[in-house]
């Protein structure tokens, strides 16, 4: 298999060639960091949404859904802190003219030191074998200790500088670490400036009446401002959750890595309202539950890890990311945040409306605390795609590209393929298609040799191909081919539906 950078390029071009993801406005040379999902991509995306919704809403009696508007009252963003604090510090390189997030330049530098530590550990594991005590090694090895100290020192400067909005200090850190522009290799940097990530637009047709409103940068606030509506209309008792899937918009400074960081993207968020004091228990619960969800898709555990936040946002008392190993390294896929009563408290203050819960057990009203799970739909899509992409050499020396997408998420579940375009085979295949398409996303294809059709379906991740041949006309059986093993079995037409439904459950 190619190295990771090549692999990532292959995944991106495969995604385009097979109708998963297209650059937005491509015929006009594209729009930076905005993407469209094609015929297979939109199906995969829809299936991921359904899988998430089922596990969060359908399987939890105390979690309900919501579909709030993208446009909201502008004061919401004042209350949530986004108007004043949803900023990223940016810096430009004077030679390459490339713009970077200043904190990310430093974080990338830290990641390089961490990789050095990991390499030391790996070397030691090899050297000492079973008797290796990793904890002791990390606590005593001089090279590891020096690197750990470096990391600590940098963090002790970066985090307070970020908290205090000390842009000069952030620039100084970049200079002191001699961080160079990855494109030009130059260390000639502009000042660090703050950049608000929200897109704004005007509501109202006359400019003097116009009101600046924002495209929501997260779906969560739509949930908070509807907390009381849902609680009262649904007679919800604490603890309970509200889940929502929807678009979010951020004017990202550096948009890179394909659909990893986009300016228009989708989030799947759930806010879980709990009694104050119980939030850490629920935070731990959701951390574990969300990790289980990821693993339920059959991707190995080694591809995921938790990253517990040391530096907490002002509204959080605990936070962690679930990171996934993308082709460009471990990066955030989902966040689990214990957000205290910050959001409801702020909306209560700014709106002047009480956002409380009357707890019949203690006969008291209070503002609930909130534990949030927030996952990017597009990032989940990219995780699935990059894990699924695989190139295989077959016994006959030929090669195939196969997308090992979990069957439950596959864009097309079943391909119906008459072996030839004659002798009533298409007619029979169409009859089977008409029955199966009621329950499953199916595709009928009669063009090209059967081998080429199998390859096409391997490439979009279709888990099952049904082939109708001359024997079908005689004994009402077909072959069913498994995408991963390429094994074919003969089964009765009347059993196809049940067999596929059963296998898709796995």
| CB of 309 vs ligand GAP, minimal distance in Å | 10
Distances (CA, A) of 404 to 134, 137, 384: 34, 38, 9
Q: Please say which residue, 40 or 267, places its beta carbon nearer to ligand GAP.
A: 267
413 contributes a contact to ligand GAP by CB under 6 A? no
φ, ψ for residue 482, nearest 5 deg: -90, 130
For 35, other C-beta atoms within 10 Å of its C-beta total: 23
Distances (CA, A) of 248 to 79, 243, 244, 265, 435: 18, 15, 12, 5, 39
Return the residue of 92, 325, 334, 341 that touches ligand GAP, per CB under 6 A. Answer: 334
- Part in contact with ligand GAP (CB under 6 A); list of ranges 135-143, 265-273, 289-297, 359-367: 265-273
218 contributes a contact to ligand GAP by CB under 6 A? yes
375 contributes a contact to ligand GAP by CB under 6 A? yes
Write out the two tokens for 135: 């904890």
Q: Please say which residue, 315 or 464, places its beta carbon nearer to ligand GAP.
A: 315
Return the residue of 95, 108, 169, 252 that touches ligand GAP, per CB under 6 A. Answer: 252
Closest CA to 151 of 125, 115, 124: 115
| CB of 319 vs ligand GAP, minimal distance in Å | 9
Mind spelling out the 3-state secondary structure of 16-45? HHCCCEEECCHHHCCCCCCEEECHHHHHHH
Q: Please say which residue, 43 or 334, places its beta carbon nearer to ligand GAP.
A: 334
- Which residue's CB comes closest to ligand GAP? 376
Judged by CB under 6 A, the number of residues near ligand GAP is 19
Q: Number of C-alpha atoms within 13 angstroms, CB side, residue 385?
A: 32
Distance CA 15, CA 327 (A): 15
Distance CA 383, CA 377 (A): 10
- Part in contact with ligand GAP (CB under 6 A); list of ranges 82-90, 331-339, 426-434, 467-475: 331-339
Distances (CA, A) of 272 to 56, 57, 68, 307, 367: 11, 12, 17, 21, 13
Return the residue of 379, 387, 428, 453 that touches ligand GAP, per CB under 6 A. Answer: 379
Return the residue of 91, 220, 403, 408 that touches ligand GAP, per CB under 6 A. Answer: 220
Q: Please say which residue, 161 or 377, places its beta carbon nearer to ligand GAP.
A: 377
Q: Please say which residue, 11 or 417, places its beta carbon nearer to ligand GAP.
A: 11
Between strands 464-468 and 414-418, the pairing is parallel
Distance CA 219, CA 446 (A): 44
378 contributes a contact to ligand GAP by CB under 6 A? yes
Provide the binding-site residues for ligand GAP, judged by CB under 6 A.
218, 220, 250, 252, 261-262, 265, 267, 269, 332-335, 372, 374-376, 378-379
């Amino acid at each position: 298999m190619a190295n990771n950078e090549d692999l990532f390029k292959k995944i991106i071009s495969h995604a385009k060639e097979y109708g998963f993801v297209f650059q937005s406005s491509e015929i006009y040379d594209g729009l930076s960091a905005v993407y469209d999902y094609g015929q297979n991509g939109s199906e995969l995306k829809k299936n991921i949404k359904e899988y998430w919704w089922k596990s969060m809403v359908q399987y939890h009696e105390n979690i309900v859904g919501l579909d709030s508007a993208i446009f909201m009252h502008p004061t919401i963003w004042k209350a949530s802190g986004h108007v004043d604090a949803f900023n990223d510090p940016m810096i430009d390189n004077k030679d390459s003219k490339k713009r970077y997030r200043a904190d990310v330049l430093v974080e990338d530098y830290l990641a390089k030191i961490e990789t050095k530590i990991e390499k030391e550990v790996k070397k030691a594991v090899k050297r000492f074998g079973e008797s290796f005590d990793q904890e002791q090694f990390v606590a005593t090895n001089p090279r590891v200790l020096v690197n750990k100290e470096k990391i600590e020192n940098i963090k002790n400067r970066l985090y307070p500088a970020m908290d205090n909005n000390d842009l000069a200090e952030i620039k100084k850190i970049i200079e002191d670490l001699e961080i160079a522009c990855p494109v030009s290799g130059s260390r000639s940097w502009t000042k660090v400036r703050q950049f608000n990530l929200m897109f704004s637009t005007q509501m109202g047709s006359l400019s003097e009446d116009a009101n600046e409103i924002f495209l929501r940068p997260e779906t969560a606030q739509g949930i908070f401002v509807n907390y009381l509506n849902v609680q009262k209309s649904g007679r919800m008792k604490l603890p309970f959750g509200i889940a929502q899937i929807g678009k979010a918009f951020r004017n990202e400074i550096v948009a890179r890595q394909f659909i990893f960081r986009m300016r228009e993207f989708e989030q799947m968020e759930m806010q879980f309202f709990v009694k104050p004091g119980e939030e850490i228990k629920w935070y731990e619960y959701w951390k574990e539950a969300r990790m289980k969800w990821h693993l339920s898709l059959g991707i190995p555990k080694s591809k995921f890890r938790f990253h517990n936040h040391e530096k907490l946002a002002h509204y959080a008392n605990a936070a962690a990311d679930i990171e996934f190993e993308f082709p460009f390294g471990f990066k955030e896929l989902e966040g689990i945040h214990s957000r205290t009563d910050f959001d409801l408290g702020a909306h209560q203050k700014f709106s002047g409306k009480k956002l409380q819960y009357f707890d019949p057990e203690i006969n008291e009203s209070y503002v609930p605390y909130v534990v949030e799970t927030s996952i990017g739909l597009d990032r989940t899509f990219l995780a699935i795609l990059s894990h699924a992409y695989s190139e295989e050499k077959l016994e006959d020396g030929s090669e195939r590209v196969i997308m090992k997408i979990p069957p439950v998420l596959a864009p097309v579940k079943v391909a119906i393929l008459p072996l030839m375009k004659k002798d009533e085979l298409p007619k029979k295949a169409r009859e089977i298609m008409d029955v199966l398409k009621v329950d499953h996303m199916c595709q009928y294809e009669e063009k090209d040799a059967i081998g080429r059709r199998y390859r096409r379906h391997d490439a979009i991740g279709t888990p099952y191909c049904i082939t109708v041949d001359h024997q079908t006309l005689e004994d009402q059986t077909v072959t069913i081919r498994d995408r991963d093993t390429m094994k074919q079995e003969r089964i009765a037409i009347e059993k196809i539906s049940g067999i596929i439904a059963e296998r898709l459950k796995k």
